[in-house]
Amino acid sequence: MVYDVIVIGVGSMGSATCYQLASRGAKVLGIEQFGISHENGSHTGQSRIIRKAYFEHSDYVPLLHKSYEGWRALEKATSMQFYWKTGLAYFGPEHDEMLQSVQKSADLYNLKIEHKEYDQYTKLWPQFSVPKDYQCIFEPEAGFVTPERGIKTYTEFAKQKGAEIHINEQVLHWESHSNFVTVTTNLRTYQASRIIFTSGAFTDQLLALKVKLKVTRQYLGWVNPNNNLKYNVGNMPCWLMTDEGKEGAFYGFPQMPEVVGGPQGIKFGYHHPGEIFDEVEDKEILVKEEARLNEFLRQYFTKVNRKIETIKSCKYTYTPDEHFIVDLLPDMSERVVIACGFSGHGFKFSPVIGEALADLALEGGSDLPIGFLGLGRFSLLSPMLQ
């Protein structure tokens, strides 16, 4: 069988891409080495924050508008919920870099944000125990989306539109020929006009990119809120908080409605460059990360069990500048498309990345504003970073 497009990796970006391609009438094969949603990649953990006042860079905001539209379109098509509008409270000390960048994106794109004084936010959300000198910006349109539920639904929909999805099949290598591409798995060899790499943390095993991708292990913890309804969706926002003197930010979610599935409790994590991923989990690192989450919990939360009940790990794939790579691979006659290096903040973009990748594979280009995510930018970096 010859395909129009083969998608390598049916996870966050791959599932949305298979759906987009199949919806446009392309003959698609998606190949996934594990099952549809699993715990070996980057999408574990029931929820991901979605927000528009983007502190990583304001260039993402137009893509976020499209992504919100994509999630709504999926909800309309399925009569299921994928996006929960809880709002997001950003907390940090005065002159905090994250808060300043949130403000900058909001100003540039006229996004709705609200500044909350200490008295206001402690009254609104007594769940937090935040230092008096912390500032708070609230983004009402933010919330969370659901990775496992999203990936499964996109994949099901892609199948309904005619996509073939193979699971438990691993791509071992690929080759570009003058007017087609071959992909060899542990089971057989396939031929297609184009291929798309959405292989997440495993991309380095398939592609010798000039730019270095760094895969790290990140931890997520769930805590029992002791039946305190204040911690449920509807009573508490998602949140992001810098802890003075520490790199990165802590973040978390209210207790999920049961329909989302996964561990019960409130989930929280630490967005920072974790340790380089090693197949054999280092127990000392696990203990250290758990202690760090527990310490944060003790310091900044009230009236929850001060002990993590479930802990899971998940992978980040960093690019040197922590911005995504979404591009055609150079010198491949527009046959090879790549989307990787989502650097711990990609999931919310799945619908729009799916669209962009389908554009690149089927049209050789996209009208979506993805230029700043191209591979070309790395030639501007010093050789040490490449």
Residues 6+ apart with CB under 8 A from 220: 44, 45, 267, 268, 269, 311, 312, 313, 314
Closer residue to ligand FAD in complex, CB, 186/302: 186
99, 314, 336, 337: which one binds ligand FAD (CB under 6 A): 314
Residue 13 within binding range of ligand FAD, rule CB under 6 A = yes
- Residue closer to ligand FAD by CB (options 72, 123) is 72
Site string for ligand FAD, 207-236 (x = CB under 6 A): -----------x-x----------------
Candidate segments 18-26, 175-183, 193-201, 358-366, binder of ligand FAD by CB under 6 A: 193-201
CA–CA distance, 193 with 9 (Å, rounded to integer): 17
Burial class (CB within 10 angstroms; exposed 0-12, middle 13-18, buried 19+) of 247 = exposed
Nearer to ligand FAD, 118 or 372 (CB): 372
Is residue 278 within 8 A of residue 68, CB to CB? The reply is no
Closest approach, Cβ 364 to ligand FAD, in A, equals 22
Closest by Cα among 194, 175, 219 to 316 = 219
> Which of residues 128 and 316 has its CB atom nearest to ligand FAD in the complex?
316
The residue type at 320: P
| Residue recorded with tokens 């992909």 | 183
Nearer Cβ to ligand FAD (46/193): 46
d(CA 138, CA 115): 6
CB of 198 to ligand FAD, least distance (A): 5
Options 5, 9, 154, 370; binder of ligand FAD; rule CB under 6 A:
9
Q: By the criterion CB under 6 A, which residues form the site for ligand FAD?
A: 8-9, 11-14, 31-34, 41-43, 45, 48-49, 170-171, 198-202, 206, 218, 220, 269, 314-316, 340, 342, 344-348
